[in-house]
Structure 1
Amino acid sequence: MNEDEMKKYTAAGEIAKRVKRDSRKWVREGEPLLDLCEKIERRIVELGGAPAFPCNICIDEIAAHFTPPPGFAGRIPNEGLVKIDFGVHVDGYIVDTAFTIPLSPRDREIVEVAEESLLKISEMLRAGIKISQVGEIVEKFASSKGFKVIRNLTGHQIDRFNLHTGFSIPNIRILGTEKFRKDMVVAIEPFITIADGSGEVGEIEETYIYRFKYLSMNYTSESGPLVKKLHNSFKTLPFCERWVINQFREVNRDSIKRALEHYRKNLMFYPVLVEKNRKKVAQAEDTFLVLEDSALNLTSE
């Protein structure tokens, strides 16, 4: 990794740290989810970065991929288990981080298990370690505390303008020989549920987040001009309907949905993911730069 790349990853990480500190104070019962999401995204911009994907606020059994659509009126519920997941990029160099706030004392332990799992990985992470060891450590620790890991959610490698690339990083024991390499940038994110949870998430019908698969496309359809604007604006980073409406005031939700459906083959769709037994889920996540003998946590407070 050259000096310029390192500088940009570090800058993105410093912004993420400040946003985490600020946003922890903003999570409170009755807070409108839409307001909270947009407040977090604005703070990223105020500090000199750009959101790498729409801020996710996932409550209780919702594990991932929920960002409020335009006009959403939902609020943080009493005693909710609130997961905040956001990313920052500086010139396409991305960091990804998440934390969970328990608004009920009954949920403190599950959050502690997710955070301690992440800490255990940070202490062993370095070049040459098998990627499979991450899952072994997380699953063993969660089980020892009476909890269960979400086995079909993983961490991921990160590259410039590419949030999920290369290796997936499991949270359960698997067979595998791939190893972490020096200068890899990786997001480690344990997802923990309670013992009688299914240990898996499933998709529901709602989808609010999308991503273009490719950097080049043709725009010859009726929806082509709008899609070209979106593609030029978001490149291969995830985006959502409210971003489109905020940025391009002349479009409405119907025209966006028609355009996305017409270009479906060029897009990744990210349906909302929910614990299959509808049990609560906690998440902890940081982004690391893998070094020869250790790993630099870019996003930890």
Structure 2
Amino acid sequence: MDAARVAAGVRAIAEECTKPGAKFLDIAGTIESEVVKQGGKNAFPVNISINDTAAHYTPCIGDETVLGEKDIVKIDFGVHVEGCIIDQAFTVDFGGENGKLVEAADAALADALAVMKAGVSVKDVGAAIQNAITSRGFKPIENLGGHSLEPYILHAGEEIPNTAKGSYVLQEGDVFAVEPFATTGAGRVDEGTYCEIHSLVNPKTVRLPQSRRVLEYILEEYKTLPFAERWLADMLSTSSIEMVVNDLVRQGILHSYNVLKEINNGMVAQSEVTVIVEKDGVKNLC
């Protein structure tokens, strides 16, 4: 699978550029450029989520945020080749105070993959994730989970939960991103106000010429995959991007991905790979 080959090469670059003092914009730019350099396209903007932020933070135009020496950071990136997606993530604990939390997320992923095969209920996979995390003294984030993947569809309808719930039975050939989230907090996330990521959900005729031009570009370049507002910087000024995106969101054409934060400000760790379900197990594509 070409996307898997690209993702494997990008992972090493992602780990190398994720270090204290690095700007979020530089990290995202390096990873996203490397995806293209290696022959793929970005399936979504690089997520750089620190501490109690679980997901959906990607830098905006002019973002001066830098990684701190005590941050725990989740790097979540996606690669696609002709719509076939690889989604993976890793967590780095710079301060050394949350190493056990990172271990819990990694162990939960390993235990999930160990039980996954055709005929297994996602409830059993969620139970394995939950047990791995709670047995180490942490909580799984119950309203986040892994997800099925289809060409050009990042969240294709089925879920791998972080707790023992769900009725879907895994089928041979299913493709899933499996991503346990572990936290020191309450085990739930809620939306924050910051939002830089959007995706096309309901294309239709629009009146404003600028909105029409951007919509045509999104359809051509990203289809239904998420994109960052900063990816439109070559087309429009920052103020025009905000106006057009707000117009398209207001009309229900775009879906917005607000940043997700742990409700009790707990630290969060994430571990993720993409797999294909087989008769007697899974094939890890990362």
TM-score normalised according to structure 2 size: 0.96
User: Match for 1:271: what amino acid?
Assistant: N
Q: Which runs of 5+ in 1 are unaligned?
A: 1-9
Distance (Å, rounded) in 2 between the aligned partners of 1:57 and 1:225: 29
The within-5 A match list for 1:269-280 is 269-280=256-267
- Aligned pairs for 1:137-148 within 5 A: 137-148=128-139
Rounded to whole Å, the distance in 1 between the matches of 2:214 and 2:103 is 45
Cα shift at 1:106:
1.5
Q: Which amino acid aligns with 2:191?
A: E
What amino acid is the match of 1:178?
A: Y
- Cα distance in structure 2, aligned partners of 1:19 and 1:107: 25
What is the CA distance between 1:217 and its match in structure 2?
2.4
Gaps spanning 5+ residues in structure 2: where? none
Deviations 1:202-235 (A, max 9, x none): 1111110000014x42233342223222222211
> What is the alpha-carbon distance in structure 2 between the residues aligned to residue 240 and residue 285 of structure 1?
21
Q: Distance in 2 between matches of 1:132 and 1:254?
A: 46
Deviation for aligned residue 1:258: 1.7
SS state at 2:183 partner: strand
Q: 226-235 vs 33-42, which deviates more?
A: 226-235
In the TM superposition, what are the counterparts of 1:241-256 in structure 2 within 5 Å?
A: 241-246=229-234, 248=235, 251-256=236-241
Q: Determine whether 1:166 maps to 2:157.
A: yes
Quick one: which amino acid aligns to residue 297 of structure 1?
N
Q: Give matches, 1:171-182, under 5 Å.
A: 171-174=162-165, 176-182=166-172
CA contact (8 A) 1:126 1:291 kept: yes
User: Is residue 209 of structure 2 the alignment partner of residue 219 of structure 1?
Assistant: no
3-state SS of paired residue (1:165)? coil
Instruction: Indicate conservation of the 8 Å contact 2:179/2:272, yes or no.
Output: yes
Matching residue of 2:32: 41
- 1:281 aligned to 2:271? no
1: CA distance, partners of 2:61 / 2:128? 40
- Within the candidate set 235, 238, 260, 2:226 is matched to 238
Q: CA deviation at 1:242?
A: 1.0
What do you get for the CA RMSD once the two structures are aligned? 1.2
> Would you say 1:292 and 2:265 are equivalent positions?
no
Q: Which digits, 9 at most, give the CA deviation of each residue in 1:128-161, with x for residues without a partner? A: 1001112111111211110111111111000000
Q: How far is 1:29 from its partner? A: 0.8
Tell me the percent identity.
Answer: 35
| Number of residues of Structure 1 aligned to a counterpart in Structure 2 | 283
Measure, in 2, the Cα distance between the counterparts of 1:125 and 1:282.
22
User: 168, 173, 192: which is aligned to 1:183?
Assistant: 173
Q: In structure 1, what is the Cα distance between the partners aligned to 2:136 and 2:247?
A: 48
Conserved? CA contact 1:227–1:259, under 8 Å: no
Q: Does 1:27 align with 2:18?
A: yes
Q: Which residue of 2 aligns with 1:6?
A: none
CA contact (8 A) 2:111 2:132 kept: no
Is contact 1:230–1:244 with CA below 8 Å preserved after alignment?
Answer: no
TM-score (normalised: structure 1): 0.91
2:145 to 140, 154, 159: 154
Match for residue 58 of structure 2 among 46, 67, 71: 67
Write the distance in 2 (CA, Å) between the matches of 1:219 and 1:225.
10
Contact preservation (8 Å) 1:219, 1:225: no
2:44 maps to: 53
1:191 counterpart letter in structure 2: F
Q: 1:111-134 CA deviation, whole Å, 9 max, x = no partner?
A: 111011101111121111001112
Q: Which is worse superposed, 93-102 or 251-260?
A: 251-260
